[in-house]
Structure 1
Amino acid sequence: MEKLLHEIRACEVCAAELPLGPRPVVRAASGARVLIVGQAPGTKVHNTGIPWNDPSGDRLRHWLDIDRHTFYDETRIAIAPMGFCYPGRDPRGGDLPPRPECAPLWHARLLAVLPRVELTLLVGSYAQAYYLGRQRKRTMSETVRAFAEYLPACIPLPHPSWRNTAWLKRNPWFEAELLPVLRKRVHDLL
């Protein structure tokens, strides 16, 4: 595990494409029971090296109903984004998609050293596309709405960004139906 984490953190495969340079962000330990697969670090996470260390992380922790200490206990929760480094800013707004090199290069190797993971949280459409493949529904909303189909191994979630606040208001079932299941599953494993 330590050797692999060192390799990931030293990765420079797409360094020429990264506006802030490489700074792979990953947290894991072989005892982790929950894996969170997100998109890619934003600038605040890039600067601190701490995943989900921003308002999106605050919302995600609220969804999980766990505190920062528990969230960052890598012996219980592993965190591996689809792209380990900040990909840059999209001229149309928001960040660029995760770099396509990361997941194929590192995820299978990382999963191989996480034998105790019983629940994978697929946060956002990039993680859902990669991990669910053909099982994914036509849209991210439909995929998240069908969360029960993916239990007990995974739960798809929207990205907890402020950009999705309107989505959360339009989809009250998320808080009423999905969050209780998510919280129970996470608490049972932790």
Structure 2
Amino acid sequence: MSAGESDPDATDGGVESADMGDLFDELQELEDLVATDAAREQVRETMRVAMVASAAATPFGRVIHGFDRGDLAEALLGSLLFGIPMAVEGGTGEVAVFLTGHPGALGGTFLFAVGMVIGIIYVADIQDVRVYKPLFGLIPRRLVGVLGVSVVTATLLLTAWGRVDWGTPLLAVANVVVAFVPMSIGAALGDLLPGS
């Protein structure tokens, strides 16, 4: 590179360009290194300030951390937006009848939905989603929240509107699973797109 050219990956100080995700990573590393509780609390406070500043800047490209009532409400809204058409559509019942005769396809349909939600939240890079205080040290709270609100919403909506008969439990579960697929996708998108 000649003296007159500039490195597109560097800033004026010669440091590679960074985003809020990089800052958050650095602060988490710092939190692990500091020795006192007071210093750790100061690092956590700095992370909170950085997230608030990131939120004010843009709804996309922010670091998403934790899962609260607001996230749950957004997931519920997305679930309902994608799920209400499934609750009134007769094709849902037809697919459920098919799935009751093919238990492998029923399980595969459920696992497909779970995989789609994981992909939307953690792989598609719509937002920089961080796992915060996972359940049992392993299961992300956001994943449990999004899937949980989808299953509960599908079950309650289909039951309340008389679309399932729990006298035939396998058919009822198949109906719920069919409605769960788009509802879980809607819940994941509803949670992430507002950028909470």
Structure having greater relative contact order (Cα 8 Å, sep ≥ 6): 2
Smaller-chain TM-score range?
under 0.3
TM-score by length of 1: 0.28
Q: Which has the higher strand share?
A: 1
Q: Which has the larger radius of gyration?
A: 2
